[in-house]
Amino acid sequence: MLRLPRFSYLRPASVAEAVAMLADHGDRSSVIAGGTDLLPKMKRRQVQPTVLVGIAHLEALSHRETTASGAVEIGASRTLTSVLKDAELAHHQPGYAQAAGLVSSPALRNTGTVGGNLCVDTRCNYYDMSEEWRTASGSCLKTGGELCRLAPSSPRCWAISSSDTAPIAVALGATAVVAGPEGEREVPVASLYRDDGNAHLALGRGEILTRLRLPAPDGWRSSYVKLRRRSSMDFPLAGAAVALKIDRGVVEGCRLVLGAVASQPVELSDLVHGLVGQPLDEEAIEEVASGASRLAKPLDNADLSYVWRKRMVKEIVARAFRQAATSEVAAVP
Amino acid sequence: MSTSREWVGRRLGTVPGGGEDGDGAFQVVGKAMPRVDAVSKVTGATVYADDLSFPGTLHCVLLRSPLPHARIRCIDVQEAAGLPDVVAVLTGAAMPTRFGVSPSSEEEQALAADKVRYVGEPVAAVAARDEATAREACKMIQVDYELLEPVTSIDQALEVPMDEPIHAASKDGNVHRLASLEFGDVDEGFAASDHVREDVFFYEGSNHLAMEEHSATAIFSDGQLTVWSSTQSPHSVHRALSSVLGLPMRRVRVVATPHGGGFGGKVDPCSHEIVVAKLAMITGRPVKCTLTREEVFYNHRGRHPVLMWVRTGVTQDGRIRAMHFRTALDGGAHASLGAATTYYTGALQPATYDLPAYRFEGCRVFTNKAPCGPKRGHGTPQPRFALELHLDKLAEDLGMDPVELRRRNYVRPNSRTVNGLRITSCAIEKVTDEVLAASGFSRRERRDGHGQGFAVSAYLCGAGTPMYLNRMPHSEVSLKVDRGGVTVFCGATDIGQGSDTVLATLVAEELGLERGDVRLVTGDTGLTPVDLGSYSSRVTFMAGNAAIEAARKMRATLVAAAAEHSGSRPAEMTVAGGKIGPLSFEQAVAAAEERYGTLGSVGSYAPPPSISASKYRGSAVGPSPAFSYSAAVVDLDADRVSGEVRVNKVWIAHDIGRALNPVLVRGQVEGGVYMGLGEALMEAQAYRNGLLHHPSVLEYKTPLSSDMPEIEQLLVEQPDPEGPYGAKEVGQGPLLPVVPAVVSAIHDALGVWVDEVPVTPEKILRALDAHAKGSDPRTGPRSFPEIPYPPCEKVALPDAASATL
Ligand SMILES: Cc1cc2nc3c(=O)[nH]c(=O)nc-3n(C[C@H](O)[C@H](O)[C@H](O)COP(=O)(O)OP(=O)(O)OC[C@H]3O[C@@H](n4cnc5c(N)ncnc54)[C@H](O)[C@@H]3O)c2cc1C
Ligand code: SF4
């Protein structure tokens, strides 16, 4: 069995204390929520924090609230399972609930959190391997080496954004509340991410994501379709998140975000721009889906071939549009 | 045929109460009951190899090669040895003796000393007070390597090596083994055929993926060595330890611990088993080593990737006149059982279909990859896949129903195959009928993307020849009865298949007891008589027969004593319900013990010589005391747009002879179907730049429970004349037809052939794309390489006398 390295575990009493602890310990420390992403990575020595600051127990991070306007706020440390059991949420934000339900397996969803899922590390099959394997293959940019094993001439890391909930959160226009040494700030989820596999999060040192805020449905429908090899457990090979507002058959607003085809969720606003003001028929869906597939640039660092993954982007985008178009529109409370 | 041993199977004669007159006559045989160890397994009480812990145990970690092919110039262990809490560091120099599971290819060293041949090959070992320290110390060992060009494919292995061959002894580049056999006149057969067809297929390698990683602990005390290991063959480990460590067999004891699965991955003696033993001898302390999942992928011994070419001539009415079958196996870096595997890729074609003339050419090459070896079905799933699809295509050529084509060529019960195999009981027709009837194959629904596929297969009930040549029994049982009750001693190893339950069932049946009354001591070379191991589906058949023989002798003793005690005639005594005649079992034992002291009886089993009629190079592979037959129909939907496949249902009929316990049988069938689906659709021990692509259970894809379709099992019970109570094997056979049936169903659904497993969505789309462009609607290998097979050894057909059995 791969064993965990030695580390100390700190249990802050508040978000502020957690932030202070992270500031204290700097680079040696890491936030741990459910640990379903972090701990396996530590076993493989991909990351080696010596101090873990636990946040799963913090009351302030497990709240759940629907505001008067109909926006839903979810504490970052709520489990994905609690999201699935949340009937109101499933009704208002079916796309988000769908995505949460497609993460890994029931056991991992019981432990994995909303915040952890948004922050989950990028993946690459040259990287998500044991220390021994990486010694045999040689290190890469993401493990302190000189070059990218996948694309040796590339100056950057292409590890894949692999969160299932990030694309839909971006599509829904969700915002994230972040606590840090300078206090709290609220940012669009989209701006949490950077197109760099080696530094995919735009969070400052010591910053903690405390809440996810999903805006009121306000007539928007949503859907998330995930491409994966098996019926459970597997990370996305591609994901398509669609948010759609249709009035009497005509598109009033539309957002399409792809997951797992780049180092961050990829919003294709130009592509869907033309849909607005048009009826959403099969022809329009096909055209957008083909366009998405053309724009998606998966690389050879995940399961199955990247040619097939690229081709399948068309299918999942079309499926997501069809699903969103036929989903119910939540009544504003 | 002369042999000093009487043939046990025959000696046992007909089974009492057996045959066709129903199960009513049996007390425990044939009853659906949980395994005897079910409660301890499900409550976690079972002590597996890694659960063992002795006071003062040192932990061992192996340093493995990061390079696929390199010479070892020198190994510097000084720094590692100086680390506090490190007790010993070991390198290959300390164990120069080479070993291997098969005596024909003893070329492995417990730790590589001169060169490394694959990434993951063990080169040094550290024993330390704890695992973390041992791991740390491994990193401090400096190995100076001289790089050699790696060989990573069959094609490359057939070329002249760039630097040097992987093994100095190999001929023709990196060829490990060549086989060329001809039975009957193949050229004449082709000449007499109305239609001849050729196809090329590829079957990817795969790992066993047993849930339990390998683990071993050794203790050396008072001049005796004891090793506890999760091995499938304590006997093989016993032999290897004795030879490498220079200890007489009588000073070595190997105990097979309860298993979390083997599937062939724990048949070979392994590096870590020998290393912990050596370290225990050096340090005088218990030493333990448990492999990580990644190390299990390196230790491997899994399914060989095999490229296959087959050519068959048939008459207009679908009778096969001749078949020519070629295989090329990518063996990885070591021999393992690969010589046998090579012959297995050719041996069983004639055990399913009556081939009047058959030529087989096989070739195994060495490559710089983890060593392949035996995996469930050992060398036969690959040719089965090729053969069944090839017959589907032949049927299409002839415009004939694929099942009908097969039926016209099925082997017959009580016949002799062209390669000399003895076929006795054979329910191939019946399993076909059952699976067709249940699935409605011939009336199947026709809608785009939906399909069904049919395939049939044969498998051995135990290899007829031991791995090393000898005339001793393959399995022995001794039975002890006294005031403490009944204890069965047998070397058979329960690797999860339930062999302990089978032994308890058979002995309980014979002695009129309940299974729980029988104490079992198994898989312990120090306490039990020999059994060759849990491989080739041999245990129920061989150990089962040995147990019956021992139990019947004991029963006769008890009956005689009880009869004398009660003044009745032995013939009048019934043995049932814990009673022997009018006496309770305990009273009968007391009566016998008064006369004889401790009661002991022994039984043993060796296959009858008549199982094989021809002698030729490789003739040890194939003969078996019985063959089981399986047929499957797979129902699936395949998506034209995505290439994704969803298996809806699998019907599988299996020729079990007699289900000694239907619960165990069904478990094995289900596991076989599962593994077959995995190999058909997902599993691949794949490499990239000489490195295993994904040695982890998340990245190495195997079906999840949520991917499994419904399985409908049809057990066909036609008792075998020599099997224990008529039983035959079930551990391996049911996997075989599943793989070709999946691919056949995909063809049925979409009209394209994917002549290569695993079938990925992309392979399906490539075939569909080719179809759309008007080219050959197929994905698969294009050609078969030029291989320097020697001239065929022409084997005379079995003579008329042996042909009549
Ligand atoms: C076998 C397996 C399969 C998986 N499959 C999927 C899948 O299909 N889809 C998918 O999306 N994920 C998958 N995951 C990844 C992971 O389980 C989930 O993403 C999960 O939701 C992560 O949540 P967590 O709370 O366990 O995160 P943790 O492991 O605790 O944290 C993950 C990362 O985020 C950081 N972090 C956590 N919380 C915060 C916070 N509030 N603020 C700032 N940083 C934070 C941590 O420091 C860490 O770097 C899988 C993991 C495994 C082991
Ligand atoms: S994309 Fe390149 S740099 Fe990034 S993890 Fe993969 S191999 Fe390393």
pLDDT in tens, B55-79: 999 999 999 999 999 999 999 999 9
The predicted pLDDT at position B469 comes to 86
Closest approach of B668 to chain A, Cα-based (Å) = 23
Domain count, chain B: 3
The predicted pLDDT at position A333 comes to 39
Chain B, 284 to 313: residues with Cβ < 8 Å from chain A are 290, 292-294
The predicted pLDDT at position B186 comes to 98
pLDDT in tens, B503-527: 999 999 999 999 999 999 999 999 9
The predicted pLDDT at position B802 comes to 55
- Given a cut of 60, whether residue B699 has pLDDT beyond it is yes
Neighbours of A187 (CB within 10 A): 14
pLDDT in tens, B527-571: 999 999 998 999 999 999 999 999 999 999 999 999 999 999 999
Verify that B346 and B280 share a domain, yes or no: no
Verify that B633 and B654 share a domain, yes or no: yes
Residue B148 three-state SS: coil
Mean pLDDT for the stretch of residues B112-134: 97
The predicted pLDDT at position B22 comes to 45
Which residues in chain A have their CB less than 8 angstroms from residue B761's CB? 304, 308, 312
Verify that B137 and B234 share a domain, yes or no: yes
Residues sharing a CB contact under 8 Å with residue B326, sequence separation 6 or more, in sequence order: B308, B309, B310, B360, B361, B362, B363, B784, B787, B789
Q: Does B643 touch chain A (CB under 8 A)?
A: yes
In a mutational test of the A interface, the residue from B698, B769, B779 whose CB has the highest number of chain A CBs within 10 Å is B698
Q: What percent of chain B has pLDDT over 90?
A: 92
- Bond before B758 cis per omega within 30 degrees: yes
Mean pLDDT for the stretch of residues B432-461: 96
Contact A125 B699 (CB under 8 A): yes
**Residue A150 CA, distance from chain mean position:** 22
Verify that B453 and B558 share a domain, yes or no: no
Element (H, E) at B312: strand B306-314
Verify that B588 and B647 share a domain, yes or no: no
- Given a cut of 90, whether residue B11 has pLDDT beyond it is no
The predicted pLDDT at position B800 comes to 57
Residue of B nearest to A315 (CA): B642
8-state DSSP, B582: T
What mean pLDDT, rounded, does chain A reach? Answer: 95
pLDDT in tens, B85-121: 999 999 999 999 999 988 888 999 999 999 999 999 9
- Report the C-alpha dihedral over residues B183, B187, B189, B190, rounded to 10 degrees: 130
Mean pLDDT for the stretch of residues B154-169: 94
B121 falls within a domain: yes
B247 falls within a domain: yes
Mean pLDDT for the stretch of residues B176-196: 97
Verify that B295 and B316 share a domain, yes or no: no
Query: Do residues A130 and A42 make contact, with C-beta atoms less than 8 angstroms apart?
Result: no
Verify that B627 and B758 share a domain, yes or no: yes
Is A35's C-beta closer than 6 angstroms to any atom of ligand 1?
yes
Mean pLDDT for the stretch of residues B771-785: 97
Cα B672 from Cα B674, distance rounded (Å): 5
B416 falls within a domain: yes
Q: pTM of the predicted model, to two decimals?
A: 0.96
pLDDT in tens, B611-621: 998 899 999 99
- Given a cut of 50, whether residue A85 has pLDDT beyond it is yes
Contact A315 B641 (CB under 8 A): yes
CA of A79 to the centre of ligand 1 (A): 11
B161 falls within a domain: no
Verify that B230 and B97 share a domain, yes or no: yes
Residue A330 pLDDT level (bands cut at 50, 70, 90) = low
Verify that B640 and B757 share a domain, yes or no: yes
pLDDT in tens, B291-333: 999 999 999 999 999 999 999 999 999 999 999 999 999 999 9
DSSP string, A182-215: TEEEEEEGGGGB-S-TTS-B---TT-EEEEEEEP
Question: Which residue range forms the structural domain that includes residue B246?
Answer: 56-148+211-261+266-299
- Given a cut of 80, whether residue B803 has pLDDT beyond it is no
- Given a cut of 50, whether residue B4 has pLDDT beyond it is no
Verify that B700 and B642 share a domain, yes or no: yes
8-state DSSP, A276: T
Contact A230 B704 (CB under 8 A): yes
Could you tell me which residues of chain A have a Cβ less than 8 Å from any Cβ in chain B? 1-3, 105, 125, 128-130, 132-133, 135-137, 229-234, 303-305, 307-308, 311-312, 315
B256 falls within a domain: yes
Is A208's C-beta closer than 6 angstroms to any atom of ligand 1?
yes
Verify that B754 and B631 share a domain, yes or no: yes
Q: Does B761 touch chain A (CB under 8 A)?
A: yes
pLDDT in tens, A216-260: 999 999 999 999 999 999 999 999 999 999 998 899 999 999 999
The predicted pLDDT at position B201 comes to 98
pLDDT in tens, B275-291: 999 999 999 999 999 99
Q: Which atom of ligand 2 is nearest to the CA of A127?
A: 5
For residue A153, the ligand closest to its alpha carbon is 2
Which residues in chain A have their CB less than 8 angstroms from residue B64's CB? 132
B201 falls within a domain: no
What mean pLDDT, rounded, does chain B reach? Answer: 94
Task: Please give the ipTM for the structure prediction.
Answer: 0.95
B176 falls within a domain: no
pLDDT in tens, B262-278: 999 999 999 999 999 99
Verify that B593 and B675 share a domain, yes or no: no
Contact A232 B704 (CB under 8 A): yes
Closest approach of B206 to chain A, Cα-based (Å) = 16
The predicted pLDDT at position B237 comes to 97
Contact A233 B67 (CB under 8 A): no
Q: Does B64 touch chain A (CB under 8 A)?
A: yes
> CB within 6 Å of ligand 2 — which residues?
A 124, 126-127, 140-142, 148-150, 157-159, 197, 301
